[in-house]
Amino acid sequence: MATLEIRDLHVSVEADNGSREILKGVDLTVKQGETHAIMGPNGSGKSTLAYSLAGHPKYQITSGQVTLDGEDVLEMSVDERARAGLFLAMQYPVEIPGVSVSNFLRTSATATRGEAPKLRTWVKEVRETMERLHMDPAFAERNVNEGFSGGEKKRHEILQLELLKPKIAVLDETDSGLDVDALRVVSEGVNRVRESGEVGTLLITHYTRILRYIKPDHVHVFANGRIAESGGPELADKLEAEGYEAYTKDGATQ
Amino acid sequence: MAEAQNIPAGSTTAGAIAVAAESTVATRMSAPPSFDVADFPVPHGREEEWRFTPLNRLAGLHDGTAVASGNGVKVVIDAPDGVIVETVGRDDERLGKAGIPVDRVAAQAYSSFEQASVVTVPKESVLTEPVRITVHGEGGTAFCHQVIELGAFAEAVVVIDHTGDAVLASNVDYLLGDGAKLTVVSVQDWDDKAVHVAQHNALIGRDASFKSVVVTFGGDLVRLHPRVSYAATGGEAELFGLYFTDRGQHQEHRLLVDHNNPHNKSNAVYKGALQGEGAHAVWIGDVLIRVMAEGTDTYEMNRNLVLTDGARVDSVPNLEIETGEIVGAGHASATGRFDDEQLFYLMARGIPEQDARRLVVRGFFAELVQQIGLPDVEERLITKIEQELEASVA
C-alpha cells in the first residue's frame, strides 16, 4: 500500500532580505485510499507544502524527510517524483504555447505509465473522461492552459489526475475561484479517483465548501508553517463555525 | 492588429500601421536603391536599416574592405532535364530585372560579381523533380548573383542549400512569368563562422504564385532581405520563414512586400526559436500597399520563442496603406518565452526536461512546417530542429 510520509519538514524561500522559513516542521502520513484535508489561513504555508512535495526549485528543503513507499522523494527530480506516483493539481496552471492538450496528455501518460498508451483505447479514455468533466472535445486541440478560463484550468488539472492515476494526489486549492457548478463537476472527478481506493489524497483548501462534496477522513489545521491541530471531519465543522482565529491569534500570524 | 505578449526582458516588439502617410518604408532607407555601391555611403550603424546589425561582424562587406578570394563558395546546380543552366557575364540583360539593391552590401555584391548563374525553366514546363543548388563555403569571400526564371505557366521547386564557411554577399532574382508557380526553399545551414548577406528579389507575373521558404540555422551572421513585387494582377506570394538562433548568432530577416499593382495577395509567416547568451534574431516585416494597389489582400506574422535567458529578439512589422480599397491587411508579432514555470509544469507530469523542451519547440514550429508542402523538406527541418535542441542541451 502506497504511503507518503512527511517528517519534520522545514522549507525556506529566498526573499529580498535573505532566506525566510515557511515550513517549520511538518509531520504527516498519507496512505493510499485516505483523504486528508489541509485547511488554513492565507500565508500559513499550505501551498509551499504542495510545491515542495512536487519539487519546485523555488523552495529549499532545509531539513526533514519525505518518502514515498520508503523511497526518498527529496532526492528525486520533479519528473521522477511524478513518475513515482506523486501528482500536484496546481492552483495556477501554466500556459504552454504551441503544445496541444491532446499531445500533452499523451506525452505525460507515456512518461508516467512507462509506455505509450494504445492509441485506440487512449482516445476513448480521454474522450470519456472529458465528457464526465463536461469538457468540450474541441478542448483537446487547444494549447495547454492558453486562454483557458479559471474553471477550464481546474477541470484540465482534474482530467490529468484521472488519466495519470497517481498514488498520491496533492490538490492545491483546486476549489478556489470555482462557481458551484464547476466545483461540483471537479469534485465528482476527484471522487471517481478516490473511489478506486488506489490514491491517497491531500486536499489543500482555504474554504470548507469543497468538503461538502469531497468527504475527508482526516482534517488538519495548518498555521504558521506547521500542522496546528488534527482531527476527523468534525474539525472542519468547527472551522466552519469559528474560522481560523483561534490558530492565528497566539503569535501565529506572520 | 499588432499584439505583443509575454515579452522577455531584452526583447522588443514594435509595430506600426501607417495610413496614407508619407512612405515610411521608403524614407526609412538612408539611400535610394541603386546597382552601384558608390551610391551608398558606408553605414555607421545608426541608420534605420543597419541599427540592429553588428557591423563589426560583417567581415568588411559594408565598407569595401571585403575582397573576393578564389576559395569563396562553390556553387553546384543540379537541374532536371529541360531546365537551362547558364553561366553568364555581367552584361546579360536578365540580371537585375527583379529588383534593385537597397543597401550597400547588396550593391557591393552587384558591383563585385564576375559571372552570374541563370536557371531557366521554359514556358509551360512542369518539373517533377526539384532544381537543387548547393552553395558550399570554402572559407573565403565571394560575391554572387543568381537568376531563376520561370516562363509562363512553368512550375518548379528550387532548393538552395548553404553550407560550409564563407563570407558571402549575393543577390538572387526570381522572375515568374504569367501563371507560373515557383517554390523556393533557401536553407542557411552554415558552419559557425559564416557571414551571409543577401537580397532576394521576386517579381511575380500575372496570376503567378511564389512560395518562399527561408530556413536559417547556422552562421555567425546571416542577414537576408527577401523582397517581393508584382508585375501585374492576380499574383500571390507566400513567404514562410523558420530560424533557430543559437548562442552568439545574429540572424536577421528583413521582408518587404511591395503591393505596387492591384489585386495581388501576400502572406508572410516567420517563426523563430532562440537559445543561449547573445543569440539575436531580428525580423522586419515591411508591407507597402501603394495607392494603385486596390484589391490587395495581405497578412504578415512573426512569432518568437525564447528558450533561455540571454537571447534577444527585435521584431518590427510595418504596414503602410495608401488606399482604402483593399480586401484585407493585417500584421501580428509576438515573442514568448519558455520559462522555468512551464518546465516545472511539464516535468510535474512526469515529462523529462529534454522531452519537455522538445515538445514545446516542435509544437511551436509544427504548424509552419506543415505549410511548406514538401514532405522531404518538412522531415529534414524537424530533424534539424531536434538536432539544434540536442546540441544546445548537451
Any chain B CB within 8 A of the CB of A56? yes
Residue A189: which residues within 8 A CB-CB, separation 6 or more?
A132, A133, A155, A158, A159, A161, A162
Is there a domain that residue A169 lies in? yes
Dihedral sign from CA coordinates of B43, B245, B269, B4? negative
Q: Search chain B and give the residue with CA nearest A57.
A: B344
Task: Inspect the interface and report whether the beta carbons of A79 and B340 lie closer than 8 Å.
Answer: no
Q: Search chain B and give the residue with CA nearest A82.
A: B350
A85 Cα to chain B: minimum distance (Å): 9
Is there a domain that residue A103 lies in? no
Q: Search chain A and give the residue with CA nearest B362.
A: A98
Residue among B344, B351, B363 minimizing CB distance to A56:
B344
Bridge partner residues of B39 (DSSP): none
Q: List strand residue ranges (DSSP E) for chain A, in order.
A: 3-15, 18-31, 35-39, 60-68, 71-72, 86-89, 168-172, 200-205, 218-223, 226-231
Q: Search chain A and give the residue with CA nearest B368.
A: A98
Residues in chain B: 394
Count of domains for chain A? 1
Any chain A CB within 8 A of the CB of B336? yes
pLDDT of residue B51: 94
B364 Cα to chain A: minimum distance (Å): 4
Any chain A CB within 8 A of the CB of B350? yes
A246 Cα to chain B: minimum distance (Å): 35
Rg (CA), chain B: 20
B350 Cα to chain A: minimum distance (Å): 4
Q: Do B267 and B238 touch, CB atoms closer than 8 A?
A: yes
Return the residue in A53, A79, A164 with the most chain B beta carbons within 10 A, the one to mutate for interface testing.
Answer: A79
Any chain B CB within 8 A of the CB of A57? yes
Give dist(CA B183, CA A232) in Å, integer.
Answer: 71
The per-residue pLDDT string of chain B (394 residues; one tens digit each, 9 = 90 and over) reads 333 344 454 566 666 666 654 566 665 778 899 999 999 999 999 999 999 999 999 999 999 999 999 889 999 999 999 999 999 999 999 999 999 999 999 999 999 999 999 999 999 999 999 999 999 999 999 999 999 999 999 999 999 999 999 999 999 999 999 999 999 999 999 999 999 999 999 999 999 999 999 999 999 999 999 999 999 999 999 999 999 999 999 999 999 999 999 999 999 999 999 999 999 999 999 999 999 999 999 999 999 999 888 999 999 999 999 999 999 999 999 888 887 899 999 999 999 998 898 888 888 898 788 888 888 888 988 888 888 887 765 4
Strands B131-150 and B73-78: antiparallel
Domain that holds residue A25: 3-92+149-248
What grid cell was written down for B73?
A: 563558395
Cα-flanking dihedrals φ and ψ of residue A32, to 5°?
Answer: -50, 135
SS3 at position A50: helix
Report the complex ipTM: 0.95
pLDDT tens per residue, range A41-72: 988 999 999 999 999 999 999 999 999 999 99
Residue B349: list chain A partners with CB under 8 A: 82, 104, 107-108, 111-112, 160, 164
Any chain B CB within 8 A of the CB of A88? yes
Residue whose C-alpha cell reads 479559471 in the numeric block: A150
pLDDT of residue A142: 93
Is there a domain that residue A68 lies in? yes
Task: Inspect the interface and report whether the beta carbons of A164 and B350 lie closer than 8 Å.
Answer: yes
Helix axis angle, B375-393 relative to B353-370, nearest 10°?
150
pLDDT of residue A249: 66
Any chain B CB within 8 A of the CB of A141? no
Task: Inspect the interface and report whether the beta carbons of B349 and A112 lie closer than 8 Å.
Answer: yes
A179 Cα to chain B: minimum distance (Å): 25
Which residues in chain A come in under a pLDDT of 70? 249-254
B353 Cα to chain A: minimum distance (Å): 8
A242 Cα to chain B: minimum distance (Å): 36
Task: Inspect the interface and report whether the beta carbons of A108 and B351 lie closer than 8 Å.
Answer: yes
Dihedral sign from CA coordinates of A108, A109, A113, A119? negative
Give dist(CA B186, CA B199) in Å, integer.
Answer: 12
**CA of residue B390 relative to chain centroid, distance:** 25
Any chain B CB within 8 A of the CB of A139? no
Give dist(CA A98, CA B4) in Å, integer.
Answer: 16
Identify which of A198, A218, A204, A120 has the alpha carbon closest to the alpha carbon of residue A157: A204
Any chain B CB within 8 A of the CB of A102? no
Is there a domain that residue A172 lies in? yes
Residue A100: list chain B partners with CB under 8 A: 363
A56 Cα to chain B: minimum distance (Å): 7
Residue among B348, B359, B364 minimizing CB distance to A82:
B348
Is there a domain that residue A27 lies in? yes
Residue B342: list chain A partners with CB under 8 A: 94-96
pLDDT of residue B392: 62
Task: Inspect the interface and report whether the beta carbons of B346 and A104 lie closer than 8 Å.
Answer: yes
End-to-end Cα distance, chain A: 38
SS3 at position A183: helix
What grid cell was written down for A106?
A: 499523451
CATH number of A165's domain? 3.40.50.300
Q: Please give the single-letter amino acid code of residue A141.
A: E
Give dist(CA A169, CA B114) in Å, integer.
Answer: 71
Q: Please give the single-letter amino acid code of residue A137.
A: P
Is there a domain that residue A123 lies in? no
Residue among A94, A95, A111 minimizing CB distance to B350:
A111
pTM over 0.90: no
Task: Inspect the interface and report whether the beta carbons of B348 and A160 lie closer than 8 Å.
Answer: no
Bridge partner residues of B283 (DSSP): B253, B315
Cα-flanking dihedrals φ and ψ of residue B91, to 5°?
Answer: -90, 5
Any chain A CB within 8 A of the CB of B360? yes
pLDDT of residue B190: 97
Residues in chain A: 254
Residue B294: which residues within 8 A CB-CB, separation 6 or more?
B262, B263, B323, B325, B326
Identify which of B15, B193, B199 has the alpha carbon closest to the alpha carbon of residue B101: B199
Give dist(CA B170, CA B142) in Å, integer.
Answer: 8
Identify which of A131, A45, A150 has the alpha carbon closest to the alpha carbon of residue A90: A150
Q: How many CB atoms lie within 10 A of CB A203?
A: 25
pLDDT of residue B23: 60
Query: How many alpha carbons fall within 13 Å on the CB side of residue A212?
Result: 9
